[in-house]
Chains A and B, each alone.
Chain A
Amino acid sequence: MIRLDAVSKLFPGASRPAVDAIDLEVPAGETCALIGPSGCGKTTTLRMINRLIEPSSGRVFVGGEDVTGADPVRLRRGIGYVIQGVGLFPHRSVADNVATVPRLLGWTRDRIRARVDEMLALVGLDPAEFGPRRPASLSGGQRQRVGVARALAADPPVLLMDEPFGAVDPVVRDRLQREVAAILRRLGKTVVIVTHDINEAIRMGDRIAIMRDGHVVQHDTPERLLLAPRDALVTEFVGPDRALKRLSLVSLGALATTAQAPPDAPELPADANLQTALSVMLAAGAGAVAVLDEAGGRRGSVSLGAIRDLAANAQPIERSAS
């Protein structure tokens, strides 16, 4: 869906390229998280996809089409774009902000109005309450939601996000990440998201590309990245608790056996992840957790030993938790 083919960017006057012959492929419907130290070229890479920055060399394909020679304005109307400061237009209402691209595309008024309401509801904002308000009267998290609604308004197949949750506090960020990831998966969008936060990359990305000095050092699933970081930088980036992070990728249900846990064992729903289960067991001094079915009855258990074996096992585990 998105393919970068030996794409480089040498800014005028710079001694070395900000992005150096990058190859990157993001299949349709997948989310690729670009992560790496400050100045490694993440934003530059992202902006070459919608040609806010012109590549010095190489080619960029979006939807199978070489966009290097395309009309950049038309290209951008087909690509959602969310940036850290959100960049909402302060002189326009929330509804008008969301209507930006549909208006550019010449949709009818009724269609635009219906779409704006739909998008605001999608990101969890009441259209009647928030539509008429100015961005300045919104909280940081609400603004970020409007930014996502605006980017999705014309239903672009591709979405580019540059640290979209950078400006909100950790609790809000956590919720936004989950909600937006769920929305994007459900809508089947192809997404490139730039982030500083490895947890965000793990949570949002089907694949993660770790960048350094304009190169992609490792491009892998979160699972592979945590299991087998390629070099010292990647290891440092994923952090010394990578085994724990890896556990957060697996749901309790995936590991549950039918063995019954002791009656006093802590209980967790099947969609809780193994990291949570481990923490609950450690806190309760228990050797197992009971796994609940949707009705709240016990359907089986996961033991501490099973989690330890899995963590020590170098085999990739099935990704099943969100």
Chain B
Amino acid sequence: MNELLAWIRAHPGLLERTASEHLTLAGTALAADIAIGLALGIAVAGRPRAAGPVVGIVNALRTVPSIALLVLMLPVLGTGFAPSVVALALYGLPAILVNTTVGLEGVDPEIVEAARGQGLAERQVLWLVVLPLALPLILAGIRTSAVQIVSAATLAVFIGGGGLGELISAGLGLLDFPQLLIGAIAVALLALVTELAFALLQRLATGGKAAAA
């Protein structure tokens, strides 16, 4: 424990910098996924012909390991922040997209019918009725995706994306155990906090009713 604190004192600002890089990477990728996942989910929901291929392709992404996705970015986008974000976003997209489509399609058609019958315009049906009813599942998807992205961002270091992975890879390379441990603990804590924060958000948004992911 003392060794860890000593290491932090000896490297002022390093933990903060890598942690903030990590959060920026993960946050940017997650924000992109929420936007893309929701837009795509809304666009294909209720259109089996479009939904099939889109969800299929995105689901296939699920089978590609995160490290492979990152490395595959190299020849296309080179190294650094942007390719890391793209790879992480690709990695986190399936959970959000699949939950969004399943959530939207799970809304009782009778309720949608009643909403139209009362004179809600299509947009109002979506925003006032369908999305709120699909929200528990959508949030569950975002939560899964957030935790996946925060964990996978550790690997961004391999293509020069920075983040807490720097500490781990440097620690391994130099056999600097305090640094290695601090990197590992920080990533684990970050993932845990993400999970808890989104679980709380989910609970607040759904009035205490937990939804299955």
Interface core residue of A87, A89, A160 (most chain B CB under 10 Å)? A87
Chain B interface category by residue count = 10 to 19
Indicate with 1 or 0, residue by residue over B107-118, a CB within 8 angstroms of chain A CB atoms. 010110111111
Is A175 part of the contact surface with B, judged by Cβ < 8 Å? no
- Give chain A residues whose Cβ lies under 8 Å from the Cβ of B124: 104
Task: Determine whether the beta carbon of B110 is less than 8 Å from that of A101.
Answer: no
- From the candidates B111, B113, B119, name the one contacting A101 in the complex (CB within 8 A): B119
Contact bitstring A69-83, B, C-beta under 8 A = 1, else 0: 000011111110101
The interface residues of chain A lying within 8 Å CB-to-CB of B8 are none
Cβ of B67 under 8 Å from chain A = no
Closest to B124 in A: A104
Contact B110 A150 (CB under 8 A): no
Q: With an 8 A cutoff between CB atoms, is A50 at the interface? A: yes
Instruction: Let me know if B133 and A87 touch, CB within 8 A.
Output: no
Q: Is there contact, CB below 8 Å, between B132 and A77?
A: no
For the complex, is B73 an interface residue (Cβ under 8 Å from A)? no
Partner of A104, one of B113, B117, B118, B129: B118
- Point out the residues of chain B lying under 8 angstroms from A160, CB to CB: 117
Q: Which of A77-97 contact B (CB under 8 A)?
A: 77-79, 81, 83, 85-91
Let me know if A76 and B116 touch, CB within 8 A.
Answer: yes
Given contacts A86-B114, A100-B120, 9 further A-B contacts (CB under 8 A): A52-B117, A73-B121, A74-B119, A76-B119, A78-B119, A79-B119, A87-B111, A89-B111, A104-B120
Bound Cα distance from A73 to B119, whole angstroms: 5
On whether the beta carbons of A76 and B117 are closer than 8 Å, the reply is yes
Task: Tell me the bound Cα distance from A109 to B129 in angstroms.
Answer: 21
Does more than half of chain A's interface fall in helix, strand or loop, or is it mixed?
Answer: mixed
- A52, A74, A81 — most chain B CB neighbours (10 Å): A81
| Known interface pairs A73-B121, A83-B110, A85-B110; A91-B115 also in contact (CB < 8 Å) | no
* Contact residues in B for A150 (Cβ distance below 8 Å): 118
Query: How far does the alpha carbon of A150 sit from the alpha carbon of B116 in the complex, in Å?
Result: 13
Find residues 51-75 in chain A having any chain B CB closer than 8 Å to their own CB: 52, 73-75
Which chain B residue has the least Cβ–Cβ distance from A160?
B117
Q: Is the CB of A83 within 8 A of B113?
A: yes
Pairwise interchain contact B115-A89, C-beta atoms closer than 8 A: yes
Interface size grouping (class) on chain A: 20 to 34
Contact B113 A87 (CB under 8 A): yes
13 pairs, A vs B, C-beta closer than 8 Å = A52-B116, A75-B119, A76-B116, A76-B119, A79-B119, A81-B114, A87-B114, A87-B115, A88-B111, A89-B129, A100-B118, A104-B120, A160-B117
The chain B residue with its CB closest to the CB of A76 is B119
B207 to chain A, nearest CB (A): 9
B90-104 interface code vs A (CB 8 A; 1 in, 0 out): 000000000000000
> Which residues of B, 13-40, contact A by the 8 Å Cβ criterion?
none
Report the minimal beta-carbon distance from A85 to chain B, rounded to whole angstroms: 4
B121 contact set on A, CB distance < 8 A: 73
**Bound CA–CA A146/B63 (angstroms):** 48
Residues of B within 8 A of A100 (CB): 118, 120
B67 shortest CB reach to chain A, Å: 41
Q: Quick one: which of A140-163 are within 8 Å of B by CB?
A: 150-151, 160
Who on chain A is nearest to B121 by CB? A73
CB neighbours (8 Å) of B111 from chain A are 87-90
CB neighbours of B108 from chain A (8 A): 85, 87
Q: A83 to B119, Cβ gap below 8 A?
A: no
User: Which residues from B are CB-within-8-Å of A78?
Assistant: 119
Please determine whether A90 and B110 come into contact, CB atoms closer than 8 angstroms: no
For the complex, give the distance between the alpha carbons of A77 and B111 in Å: 16
